[in-house]
Amino acid sequence: MPFTEAQLVIIAVGAGIVFVTDLVGNSIAFNNRIVNALVTAILFAIVFAALGYFKVW
């Protein structure tokens, strides 16, 4: 089943959000992989929850 244009936009926006949160997590957590993963997950959860709360999706 092919993706619709709306689904592709949601995937692209989600990928962009993950990229930015990972970039911020890397800059905050320095070189510790575990802390970096934790910071990235927390930042993503905050952004995803905010998007859901403000009904962006």
* Those residues with Cβ within 8 angstroms of residue 39's Cβ, 6 or more apart along the chain or in another chain: 24, 25, 28, 29
The C-alpha atoms of residue 34 and residue 37 are separated, in whole angstroms, by 5
- Tokens 């999706």 belong to which residue? 57
Average pLDDT over residues 31-37: 83
pLDDT tens-place string over residues 10-32: 888 889 988 998 888 888 877 88
Q: Where are the domains of the chain?
A: 5-53
Pull the structure tokens for residue 23: 């970039």
pTM of this prediction exceeds 0.85: no
Average pLDDT over residues 35-51: 85
